[in-house]
Amino acid sequence: MFRNYVVIAFRNLWKHKLFSFINIVGLASGIMVCLLALIDIKGAFDYGNFHPNADRTYRILTDVTSNDNQTAAFATTPLPLADGLKREYGFVEKTTRVIREYAEFTVDQKKLGDYYCAVDPGFFTILGYKLATGQPATEPHTAVLTPQTAEKFFGLSNPIGKVIHTKEFGSITITGVFKELPTRSHLRFGLVISMPTLLTENRKQLQTDWKQYTNGYTYVLLKKGATVAQLEKVLPTIAARATKDIRFKSEKGYTFRAQSMTRLSPSREDLEMGTWEQTWGKLATEMAVGLLTLLLAVFNYVNLTLARSLSRAREVGIRKVSGAVRWQLMGQFMSESVVLSLFALGVAYLLLMLIEPMPFVQQWLIGGVKLNTKLWAVFVGFSVLTGLLAGFVPARVLSGFRPAQVLRSQTGLKVFKGITLRKSLIVAQFAIALIAMIALVSMARQQHYMATADYGFRSERILNIPLNNVPYQRLANELNRIPGVERVSATSELFGSHGGDLRRVRRQKSGGDSVVAFTTAIDPHFIDNMDLTLLAGQNLPEMAADTIGEGSLGRFVLVNEEAVKAFRMGNPREVVGQSLWLNDSTEVQIAGVIKDFRFTTFNWPIKPLILKYQPKRFRYANVRIAEGTTDATLAGVQRVWKSLNPREPFAGEWYSDFLYKRHSHEDDVNFMGLLTALAFSIACLGLLGMVTYTTETRVKEVGIRKVMGAEVRQIIWLLSWDFVKLLLIAGAIAIPLGYLAGMAFLINFAYHVSIGFETLGGCIGLLLGLGGLTIGFRTYRAALSNPADSLRSE
C-alpha cells in the first residue's frame, strides 16, 4: 500500500509541474533557513565538548546585589577565590583562573593587536586545550599561540623560542602552539600567557583584592566522588567572609554559585562579562525566523492544494465509492506532501551550499560545525515532519468531501463571513513578508545613516595611517614635504568608533563626585586638521612637540561641551583655566572647550570627552590631502612609508571608508535581505500559483466575455481585482506592525532615522509592484487567449 501511495504521489507531482515547482522551491527556501538554525543549535550544544571531566568541572558565577536590591549575575569572580578554594577544601582537585584582555604585541618591529588570556597552569589540564607542539606556558613571560595567531605573527616559520614584546609586560617567549579545536569554545583568544607574567606592580594588588569581581573567570575541578552540593554549600560562606569588611559604593554585596561546564552552552541566563557561549534566546530567535519562513511555504502548499480541491474532490468521490476509507485517503495525500518535502530538502541543501560562503553565515551559523550522519538524520526527520504537518490540513479537508458535495461543487472552505481560507493565507503571507521588509529597510537606512552621516568632524580627504612603531614626528616631517599634503596630525583613537579610553575624572584630587569621561591623545594640529570648533579658550599650546616631552604640553587638555555640563562648571568661558584630576593622580588644566561632535557610535548620546597631548599613546597619523591631488599625493605618502618602514605594508585608509565599513554592517544587512527576499519569493510564487489556477478555471468565462466585446484591459482588471484587494489588505495590516518592528530596532540608537513615507511608501510600492507583475503576467496571457480554443468544447 505504501508503495502505491508513493507511485501515485510521483504521478501527481509530475502531472501538475507548475504547482509542484512552486511548492518545492517554497518549501526548500523555508527548510534551508531552518537547516541553518538547526546547524547552529547543534553547534551550541557542541560548545566545549572537548573539555575533559566536564561533569565535575564548574565555572564560578558572582551574583551581585545593588543598593536598590537588583541582582545581576556575573561570569567573573574575584581573583583570590581560586586559591582559597584549592587551599581550604579537600574536595577540590584543581582550580584555574582566566583573565581575558586585549593588547598590542610588537613582532619583528610590527605592532599586531590580539586578545590574550592570562592563565594558571591548571588551565591546560582542567579545560583540556591540547598543544600541537611545544610546552604549556607556566613560567613568567611565556606564552602559547593559537595556529591562526602563530601564522599572523610569524608566517610559516616555527614560532617556538621566538620573542614578542608588549608595553606592559616586556618580552614574552613563545613555548608552544595549540592544536586546532574540534569544536567552538566559550573562550576565544589569540594567545595564552602565564599568570605570573601579570604580576607587575600595578596588578599585584588584584591578586588579593576581593572587592573587584570583574577581573577574571574561575574554574574548579572537583575530585572524583565529590558532589556539587559540597561546593555550593561553602560558596556563600566564602563570599560572606570575603565581603565582611569591604565597603562597596553601589553594591550591597555579592555571593557565589557554581555553573556546570555541561550546562555552559546554550546559556540559560544572560551573564554580565559573559563569554562566547550561545544563548537560548538567540537560538530561539533563529529557529523562529526559520519556522516563520517555512510557515509561508506551508501556506503555499495548503493554498495550492485547496485551490485544486475540485479536481481532487472528484478523485475522492470515486475512491470512496470504490470502498476507500478516510484514513487511507489521508495517507495518500500526506504521502504526496512528504515526497514533495523530501524533494525540497534536496533543493534546500543545494541552496545551503550556495549561501555557505557568505561571511554572516560562516561567522554565526555554520562556522566550525560539520555535517554528520546524526545531523542528516535530524534533517530528514525534520523534512518528513514538515511534509506531514503541511499535508495534514489539505488531507483532512479533501478526505472529508462527500460525493454529493462534489456534484454540487460545494468545496469552498470558509473561515468567516465569506472570506476563504486560501485568501486569508495569501494575505498572511504578504503581510509577514512586508513586515520583514519594513524592518529590514529601517535597519539598512540606519546603518547607511551611521556610515555616511556628518559626525561633526572632517572625514573627507583625510587619510588615516596606523603608525605601527614608526616615530610619529619623523613621519609627519616627511609627509609635510609632499606636495598636496595640507596638514598632518596624530591621535590615539579614530573617532566614530569606540571613543577612546575611559577614565574617572574629578574636579578635586580627593572627595567630590567623579565623572567617567573618554580620553583621547592628540597633537596640537588635530583640531584644525579635523575642522573641530573651539568655543572658548585656545587650542593646545603650539610648541615644537618633537623637541619637548609630554610634561610641558600634557598638563593642558581640551574638553567638549558635554564634559562642561557633566562637571556643572557653568558656561565654556568660565571653564578655561580650571583644573581637573585624572584617576586621582594627574592634575591637568583646561586650555579650551570644543563644540560637541559625535566621536562614538550612534548607539550612545554624546559623552564627556577630554583631549590631551600624550605622544606615547599616538597610534594614527591623520593626513589631510588637498582636493584634486589625491592620486599623486597618495603615491607620495606610500613612498615615504616604504622608506621609513620597508617591512610593514602600507595600511592607510580614508576616514570616510573607515566610517562606512565600521557602521554599514553589509554582511548582516545582506543576510537579512536574503531572508526577506525568500519571504517575498515564496509569497509571489504562491500568488502566481493561485492566479494561474484561477485563470484556468475561468478560461471559458474569459472566452465568452471576449466574444461579447470585452477589451483586454477590462478582462485583466476583472481577473486581477480580487487579488489586488488581497495585497491592499496585507499592506493595511503590515504598515502598523512593520512600523513597530522597525522602531523596536531604532530605539536602541540615540541618533536614528525616522520611519516615514520613504520607508513605508517604498515598501508598499514594492509589494504592489511585485504582486502586480505576478498577477498581470498570468492575467495578460489569459486575456490574450483565443476564444475559439476555450469554447470549442461547448
**How big is the chain, counted in residues?**
794
Grouping H, G, I as helix, E, B as strand and the rest as coil, residue 259 is: strand
With contact defined as beta carbons under 8 Å apart, do 440 and 584 qualify?
no
Helix ranges restricted to H, 533-654: 550-554, 561-566, 572-575, 630-644
How many CA atoms lie less than 13 Å away from 462 in the CB half-sphere? 24
| Domain residue limits, the chain | 2-37+282-445+666-790, 54-263, 469-650
pLDDT of residue 626: 92
Position 471, amino acid: P
Q: To 5 degrees, how large is the angle CA 100–CA 103–CA 106?
A: 140
DSSP string, 406-420: HHHT--PPEEETTEE
Give the whole-angstrom CA distance, residue 749 versus residue 294: 31
Q: To 5 degrees, how large is the angle CA 238–CA 240–CA 243?
A: 105
The pair phi, psi for residue 545, each rounded to 5°, is: -60, -20
Q: Which of 134, 219, 213, 226 is nearest to 174 (CA)?
A: 134
With contact defined as beta carbons under 8 Å apart, do 235 and 58 qualify?
no
pTM over the 0.85 mark: no
485: enclosing H helix or E strand: strand 485-491
Residue with cell 485583466: 716
Give the whole-angstrom CA distance, residue 148 versus residue 181: 12
What grid cell was written down for 704? 465568452
Q: Which of 142, 139, 94, 96 is nearest to 116 (CA)?
A: 142
Position 772, amino acid: G
**525-579: per-residue pLDDT in tens?**
999 999 999 999 899 886 544 444 455 556 889 999 998 888 887 788 888 888 8
Give the whole-angstrom CA distance, residue 116 versus residue 192: 6
Measured in whole angstroms, the distance separating CA 180 from the mean position of its chain's CA atoms is 24
Residues 6+ away with beta carbon under 8 Å from 84: 238
pLDDT of residue 110: 73
pLDDT of residue 175: 95
With contact defined as beta carbons under 8 Å apart, do 29 and 297 qualify?
yes
What grid cell was written down for 67? 543598593
Please count the other Cβ atoms lying within 10 Å of the Cβ belonging to residue 321. Answer: 9
**679-733: per-residue pLDDT in tens?**
777 777 777 777 776 776 777 777 888 778 788 788 888 888 888 888 889 899 9
Give the whole-angstrom CA distance, residue 36 versus residue 25: 17
Q: Which of 461, 475, 758, 471 is nearest to 626 (CA)?
A: 461
111: enclosing H helix or E strand: strand 110-119
Q: To 5 degrees, how large is the angle CA 628–CA 629–CA 632?
A: 145
pLDDT of residue 163: 93
pLDDT of residue 313: 66
Residues of the chain below pLDDT 50:
410-419, 544-549
Please count the other Cβ atoms lying within 10 Å of the Cβ belonging to residue 612. Answer: 24
pLDDT of residue 683: 78
Q: Which of 463, 451, 452, 453 is nearest to 629 (CA)?
A: 463
Helix ranges restricted to H, 243-322: 280-307, 309-321
CB burial readout 223-234, b (16+ within 10 A) else e: eeebebeebeeb
Q: To 5 degrees, how large is the angle CA 262–CA 266–CA 268?
A: 95
pLDDT of residue 80: 92
pLDDT of residue 269: 83
